[in-house]
Each structure stands twice: as structure tokens, then as C-alpha cells.
Structure 1
Amino acid sequence: MTKSLTKFAGRMLLVGCGNMAGAMLDRWLAAGLDPASVAIVDPFAAPRAGISHHASLAEWKEAGGSADWIMLGMKPQQLGEVADDLASSMAGGVHLLSILAGVSLADLAQRFPDARAQVRILPNLAARIGAGVSAVASLGDADEAAVTSLLKPLGTVVALADDSTMDLVTAFTGSGPAFVFRLIESYAAAGERLGLAADDALKLAIATFGGSTALLADSGEKPGTLIAQVASKGGTTQAGLDVLDSDGQLAALLTNVLRAARDRGRELADIARGEG
């Protein structure tokens, strides 16, 4: 990958560095971000060479910590625990980045009014290999070019006019990889139940899903067009599709999956605001 972040300016603080924030950080480092410009506040985060690591915000401040970019990467429920301590570090043109599910731009602006900009980012775990999707919306005077430069190494960037649909996007693309992994797992398990060896079933399932999505992305066609190229009237594919399409059950199931994830995001927002 290109070293697109070798000239990225500013010091960055990650408050929380779990799976998602850690995947983003590792990708940024691979893109040339200077580790000496990064600090992590997270007592459980894995150490990374050249990056200062702190167990708490108080410890970071005692070490003379300051930042131009602060990313919130902890659990949304923890926002109240860190907001007061962090708010005093927002003066002086700090960009606040947040990957917290359910926490709106309005919530961030209320908690951190002195930030130069509040930027809400919804990435997904495929950012780890540069194949993720990051939806982004902002308030304030955001340096959009700098924000985009941070997100491009993670994969596709989708800029939204506002964050009104972010709870759905969280479910759709943020939670989406887990749903896809479950589908692949279940597909492999079905093959195993019908007689395939477990390892063969999983290998075939991964290759089938991966190749199909790659073909769809490369072709520029609608899914239905490619379905028609595989299925023939009265054939084996159509027999399986008839089961998938029966009574709209698949569409209803996926709608319910997304609705449950979206609604949980809203509940988390209430908890973060102290209303849950």
C-alpha cells in the first residue's frame, strides 16, 4: 500500500483501542503515520512500538499529553466516564473523531463544544486489510481533506450530508461483516450436514462468497442480472432460489436483523446520554 500518511500533520490520541480502533490504527501505521505522534489511553490495549501508552486520561495528562486529533474508540456506554476529563483537552482547534455507535454529532457537540469539529465515522472491521467501508459526517470546521486522507487507507469512504441515517449505517455496514460471517458459517454448516467434510465445507463457502462478491463488484451489474446468468429454469440453482425466496422470508429475516441492530444503536445512544 502507498505511504499516504507519511506527511500527516498533528498529534493523535486514541481514547480506547479495541478491535475496531486498533484495526484503524494498524492500517494508519502501515500507511506511514508516525507512531511517535500517537498516544493511546486504554489499560487493556496491546502495546505498539513507538506509541505512548497510558492507562488513564489523568496519566496521559500528567505525561504532558496534548493532541490535535482525538478519536473516541471505547464503548459508547463509557462516554460519560471520560467526557468531563476529556472536554478540557478540546480547546485549540482539536478535531474530535468518534466511532461510537449510537452517539450522534449533536451529542458530541454538546459534550465537547470547544472542539474545532466533531466528526462521526462508522468504519467496519475490513478496514484491517484496507477493504472496509467508512461512512462519515461532521459538524464544525472540519479539515475534510485531512479526514479523507485518514479514511482512504481503510477502504471505501462514503460522505453523508448529516448523521440522521447513521444508526442504520451502523447496523448495515458496521455490524454487517459479522452478519456475513454468520451466513458463511451457516452455509458451511449446511454443507457439512449434507455430507461435506467440515474443513472442505468452510473452504468452499469462503471461496464461493468471496468470489461472488468480487465478481459483483467488478462487473458493475445488479445482483439480479448475475443471478440470471447462474440460474436456469428448472435447474438446480432455481430449486435452491425457490426456497430462499419462499414467502419473502429471507428479506423479512434480514430486515429484522438490521432493525434489531439499528434499534440497539439507539438504545446505546440513550445510555450514553444518561437516559437509559
Structure 2
Amino acid sequence: MTNKVGSFAGRMLLVGCGNMAGAMLDRWLGAGLDPARVAIVDPAASPRAGVAQYASLAEWQAAGGTADWIMLGMKPQQLGEVAEELAPMVTGEVTLLSILAGVSLADLAARFPDARAQVRILPNLAARIGAGVSAVASLGAPDRAMIAALLDALGEVVALDDDMTMDLVTAFTGSGPAFVFRLIESYAAAGERLGLSSEEALKLANATFGGATALLSESGEKPGTLIAQVASKGGTTQAGLDVLDADGQLVALMTNVLRAARDRGRELADLARGEG
């Protein structure tokens, strides 16, 4: 992994480097990416050793900046403003990467028609430690080997034939860690209500969720199989499961959570197109 990322021979520009783009960049740097090959246009981004940082595209250009890989990592609502300035720089030698929620490949092709390729990536925050999930779809003829090397460094990769399901994937895997963190937080809060200290509750919740997901991943078993190994008829676990499973409320709740996140992605797409 390190050697593959370390072999990146291009020059990459990150337009916007907030939490998600920053997590990706930090992982790549940790995996051997030469910081001298990266520049950031984002006045608010945390500085990174060896990585050039600029307040604007104009400042980057004035400094003689060039890039053959450009990643869009700003807010989707800023696409129109950024594209107006950036599009002339995105020539047939440039591979355009985007992690913008709701912004489709068709949107990118319309804004940056001269790009060598448009690549839409939906990562999640666990990319920071190489344990993320990234869905990817593309138009044009990207350097697939190099894209694979960059994404493999972030964790699991799911290649999609097109980006028709990307809004759902954004909700499912991109937003998913926040939903899991909220579940852990709520689990700890429930333990606290029932008598544990806040420190005990959070420590036990973290260990319980972490151990359960690690076992699920390493065992290769389905969740239902592992549930059966924990729960016994008439026991304490089954009593709790009966509450979780009552009237299908838990599945209905998670469906509503994902639907809300998916639909917001579509609204953001409309805003990016200037239709909102």
C-alpha cells in the first residue's frame, strides 16, 4: 500500500480541505505520498508539513501552481462559484476527483467538460485510519491503477458501474459513521440513566460496539448468526431484543434516517446546479 501511494508521480491540488478531504490527505501522506506533490487551496485548512497551502485559486496560479489531479473537497453549494474559476484550468491532461455529496458525474462533466476524466468518490471518515469505505464511479479514461492505489489506502473500495445510487451510498456509508457514533453515544447515555457513571458507560459502550463489529468482520458470519450465539430463549439478551424488534420499529427508524440523508443529498445537488 505504502509503495503504491508513494509511487504517485503527478501533482495534486485539493480545492477545499475540510474534515473528509483532510482525512483522505492525511492517510495518503501517512502511506507515503510525497507532500511536495500536493497543494491545498483552502485558507481554513490545517497546515501540513511540506504541503503548499493557498488562500485562493488565483494565489495558487500566481505562484505557478500546476496540477494533473484536482480533487474537489469544498461544500457542494460552492461548486458553481469554484467551477467558474477552476474550469479553464481543468484541461484534457487533468483527472478531476470529487467527493461532493449530491454532485453527479453528469454535473461534473457539464462543469468541467475538458477534463481527462471525472471521478466521483464517496469515502467516509474512517479513511483517516485506513478503515473506511469508498464508493467510486467515473467518466472518461482515468488512471485506474493510480486511483485504485489511492483508494485502497483508505480502506474498502466499492466500484460502481455508474453513480445512479450514489445519493443512497452517501447516506449509507458516508454519513453512516455519524449514525453509528450517535448509537454508541445513546447506548452510553442509557447506561448512565440506569446507574453507570458517564465514564464507565462510554468506555463500556465503545468496547461493546468495537468488539462486536470486529467479531462480525473477522468471523465472516451474518449478524443473525452471531445474535443467536449471544441470545438464549427467555434470557436477558432476548428480553432486550424483543424491545428492539417490536413492530419493526428499529428498521423503520433506520430507513427514515437513511431516507432523510439521501434526500438531503439530492437537495444539495439542486443547490449545486443553482436550482435550489
TM-score by length of 1: 0.99
What residue number does 1:200 align with?
200
Partner Cα separation in structure 1 for residue 3 and residue 236 of structure 2: 48
Q: Deviations over 1:186-213 (max 9, x none)?
A: 0000000000111010000000000000
Partner Cα separation in structure 2 for residue 217 and residue 50 of structure 1: 37
What residue number does 1:138 align with?
138
Q: Deviations over 1:97-156 (max 9, x none)?
A: 000000000000000000000000000000011000000000001111110111111100
Whether the 8 Å contact between 1:120 and 1:138 is mirrored in structure 2 is yes
Whether the 8 Å contact between 1:3 and 1:30 is mirrored in structure 2 is no
What residue number does 2:52 align with?
52
> Are residues 1:22 and 2:22 paired?
yes
What residue number does 2:241 align with?
241
> Are residues 1:68 and 2:68 paired?
yes
Partner Cα separation in structure 1 for residue 51 and residue 233 of structure 2: 60
Partner Cα separation in structure 2 for residue 84 and residue 61 of structure 1: 15
Partner Cα separation in structure 2 for residue 6 and residue 153 of structure 1: 11
* 1:84 CA drift (Å): 1.2
> Are residues 1:263 and 2:263 paired?
yes
How much is the aligned-residue C-alpha RMSD, in angstroms?
Answer: 0.8
Partner Cα separation in structure 2 for residue 119 and residue 91 of structure 1: 15
Identity %: 82
Residue 188 of structure 1 aligns to which amino acid in structure 2? A
Partner Cα separation in structure 1 for residue 173 and residue 105 of structure 2: 19
Partner Cα separation in structure 2 for residue 209 and residue 14 of structure 1: 34
* 1:7 CA drift (Å): 1.3
Partner Cα separation in structure 1 for residue 29 and residue 103 of structure 2: 27
Local SS of the residue matching 2:5:
coil
Task: List gaps (5 residues or longer) in structure 2.
Answer: none
> Are residues 1:79 and 2:70 paired?
no
Q: Which deviates further from its counterpart, 2-11 or 12-21?
A: 2-11
Residue 219 of structure 1 aligns to which amino acid in structure 2? S
Q: Report the number of matched residues.
A: 276
Residue 232 of structure 1 aligns to which amino acid in structure 2? S
> Are residues 1:252 and 2:252 paired?
yes
Query: Structure 1 residues 2 and 143 mapped into 2: Cα distance closer, same or farther (>3 Å)?
Result: closer
Residue 79 of structure 1 aligns to which amino acid in structure 2? L
What residue number does 1:156 align with?
156
* 1:82 CA drift (Å): 0.6
Local SS of the residue matching 1:245:
helix
Partner Cα separation in structure 1 for residue 247 and residue 92 of structure 2: 58
Local SS of the residue matching 1:172:
helix
Local SS of the residue matching 2:89:
coil
* 1:70 CA drift (Å): 0.1
Residue 161 of structure 2 aligns to which amino acid in structure 1? A
* 1:4 CA drift (Å): 3.1
Partner Cα separation in structure 1 for residue 46 and residue 197 of structure 2: 36
What residue number does 2:119 align with?
119
* 1:92 CA drift (Å): 3.7
Partner Cα separation in structure 2 for residue 222 and residue 40 of structure 1: 42
Partner Cα separation in structure 2 for residue 56 and residue 48 of structure 1: 17
* 1:2 CA drift (Å): 3.3
Matches within 5 A, 1:94-105: 94-105=94-105
TM-score by length of 2: 0.99
Residue 118 of structure 1 aligns to which amino acid in structure 2? Q
> Are residues 1:41 and 2:41 paired?
yes
Partner Cα separation in structure 1 for residue 256 and residue 125 of structure 2: 22
Local SS of the residue matching 1:93:
coil
Residue 134 of structure 2 aligns to which amino acid in structure 1? S
Residue 165 of structure 1 aligns to which amino acid in structure 2? T
